[in-house]
A and B are shown apart, each in its own frame.
Chain A
Amino acid sequence: MSGINTSQYSRYQSKVARSRATSEPAWVRYLLIGIALSFLSLFLFVPLAAVFTEALRKGFDTYVTALSDPDAFAAIKLTFLAAVIAVPLNLVFGVSAAWAITKFEFKGKSILITLIDLPFAVSPVIAGLIYVLIFGAQGWFGSYLIDNDIKIVFAVPGIVLATIFVTFPFVARELIPLMQAQGKDEEEAGLVLGASGWQILWRITLPNVKWGLLYGVILTNARAMGEFGAVSVVSGHIRGLTNTMPLHVEILYNEYNYAAAFAVASLLALLALVTLALKTFVEWRAARDASLSENASQ
């Protein structure tokens, strides 16, 4: 998950014709391209095409009926709700963590960076399990929650918590290397000129990292809407109440209602394609800005 770097631009820029000594014969090139494309077809293109083909197999009317089902609509609403809460929270966290880590020196910084990465290393199933251990009926706060009639797991708050956990590091991971590379000279100049801390953040730091920030938000949102394992553990699978879109896909699929399952899945696949398009656009803009500022400073 390397994110934005300026070298990605240079590959579009430097299409230098390679001499024969440092390239391969044409047949080797075509063979390698052929093998790579076959591999990608087998694992990427064909599955993607299959989602849309299966979704429309029984005709467009079935497709529309499947999507206008009230349970499907409730699942779409819940998926958006979880993302709308999780993305801003992790965004604020990412900016705050990146500010502390890149603008200041303190002990244990590298441990902190490793801990922020932790949710990437944890299986989604375990991410769900730990919230059940805390908020479930047998959990730490179980009896308190039951007495006060508060439901967290097997209800919407648990789904939101699990979503926050699995998308926790994305924004911070994008911002830390970016803000590290930019240093703090501009911020210090702002301070000398009399800007307050918030002014520095809004007028200097955030505009400087806006593409990285957007990139992190796009990844967070995609993962938040698509998460399955963690959400599956804490959801309780109550139709129309605690089902997100990926969980709704599973239920329909297990009921052998393949056309409907793939219809909902096709919406998620569209979301993935939009995510990739936005991501490519952001990378392109970030690279363009980087090369513009490079040219300006020369």
Chain B
Amino acid sequence: MAKRKNILPGFNISLGFTLLYLSLIVLIPLSAAFIKTAEISFAEFWQIVTAPRVVASYKLTFGASLIGALINAVFGLLTAWVLVRYTFPGKKFVDALVDLPFALPTAVAGIALTAIYAKNGWIGAWLEPLGVNVAFTPLGVIVALTFIGLPFVVRTVQPVLEDLEAETEEAAASLGANRLQTFTKIILPAVWPALLTGFALAFARAIGEYGSVIFIAGNMPMVSEITPLIIITKLEQYDYVGATAVAVVMLVISFVLLLAINGLQWWANRNNGADR
């Protein structure tokens, strides 16, 4: 594309305001976390972020987020498929309600999930005789993180499934493929980048989640204590350095995930473009 002189006004003011606002609200405050950790030596930093209780919280946070995101990958794909391909009564209502975890405040989700998965709750009462306790165990953390990640996979896969052209599936069928073969060889490769993006988004969202988890987790140190709660606990003890050190570890992991997601989306867009 030939470089053309841009004649529209407002470049300086709009970019200037954007950068100023971004710096004041996001960049400078975030840098405060990194500057705060510079107050301590690396050895001290390492000791704080690898303390057994903190390490146990990483394992729970990442493990439960991973399982939640995997559950969402499987059932999110299935939900997107059902919403795009089939008709059933109340479908539009169900479709709209998929976004509930985006719209429902996390604290409300937390107490609602606790109420139904507690021993005397609607679902918990059925699980109790089977010896399964969800509320106040790591299992509860997985339930909460599955809830908050639910819309991501559905909403990234849904548009790709809609855009799939029937011709390729017809061609596969006319060449003798059965439905399962068509699904694994034609449909799954096409939705794969979107599925992976949705999975990564759900995973990234789950790692930082706080509100919905603390009610259902029971918050026992070493067992059901998530990393964001460790930060809060340290803050409440006025251990600002300790809280910030753990926060920096989480921030670095979040940045890496954000870059990975951007890369995935770029890859997904390129794949979609190549199909056409």
Contact = CB atoms under 8 A, between A and B. Distances in A.
Interface of A: 1-2, 5, 7-8, 10-11, 15-16, 18-19, 21-24, 28-29, 32-33, 35-37, 39-40, 42-48, 50-51, 54, 92-93, 96-97, 99-101, 103-106, 112, 114-126, 129-134, 136, 138-140, 161, 164-165, 168, 184, 187-188, 191, 196-197, 200-201, 219, 222-223, 225-229, 232-233, 245-247, 249-250, 253, 258, 261-262, 265, 268-269, 271-273, 275-277, 279-280
Contacts of B101: 44
Contacts of B79: 36, 39-40
A117 B258 contact: yes
B99 A276 contact: yes
Nearest to B143: A43
A75 to B, nearest CB: 12
Contacts of A105: 6
Given A118-B258, A276-B97, A125 B6 contact: no
10 contacts: A18-B85, A32-B82, A33-B88, A46-B122, A124-B228, A126-B250, A133-B244, A246-B211, A247-B107, A265-B108
Contacts of A93: 17-18, 21-22
B273 to A, nearest CB: 14
B132 interface: no
Contacts of A115: 22, 26-27
Closest 8 CB pairs of A and B: A226-B105, A123-B208, A228-B211, A21-B173, A229-B210, A197-B9, A272-B103, A47-B112
B81 interface: yes
A42 B142 CA distance: 13
Interface string B165-183: 0100110011000010010
B32 interface: yes
Contacts of A132: 235, 240
Contacts of B69: none
Contact of B257 (A23, A121, A276): A121
B102 A1 contact: yes
A139 B35 CA distance: 11
B82 A126 contact: no
Interface in B96-151: 96-109, 111-113, 115-116, 121-123, 143, 146-147, 150
Interface in B152-198: 152, 155-156, 158-159, 162-163, 166, 169-170, 173-174, 179, 182
A97 B207 CA distance: 28
Contacts of B121: 50
B115 A276 contact: no
A2 B156 contact: yes
Contacts of B146: 43
Q: Is the interface of B mostly helix, strand, loop or mixed?
A: helix
A232 B204 CA distance: 21
A187 B7 CA distance: 10
B108 A125 contact: no
B114 to A, nearest CB: 9
B36 interface: yes
B120 to A, nearest CB: 12
Contacts of A232: 210-211, 232
Q: Is the interface of A mostly helix, strand, loop or mixed?
A: helix
Given A47-B113, A126-B231, A134-B32, 7 more contacts: A8-B159, A93-B21, A126-B250, A164-B25, A197-B8, A226-B105, A269-B104
B116 A47 contact: yes
A25 B105 CA distance: 40
A105 to B, nearest CB: 7
B78 A24 contact: no
A279 B235 contact: no
Contacts, number: 302
A40 B76 CA distance: 10
A261 B111 CA distance: 9
B100 A50 contact: no
Given A104-B6, A118-B26, A124-B210, A46 B104 contact: no
Contacts of A106: 11, 15
Contacts of B244: 129, 133
Contacts of B32: 130, 133-134, 139-140
Nearest to B256: A121
A29 B106 contact: no
A121 B254 contact: yes
Contacts of A121: 204, 208, 254-255, 257-258
A186 to B, nearest CB: 11
B75 interface: yes
The residue in A96, A116, A196 that gathers the most chain B C-beta atoms within 10 A of its C-beta is: A96
B41 interface: no
Interface string B4-41: 00111111011101110110011111101100100000
B57 to A, nearest CB: 12
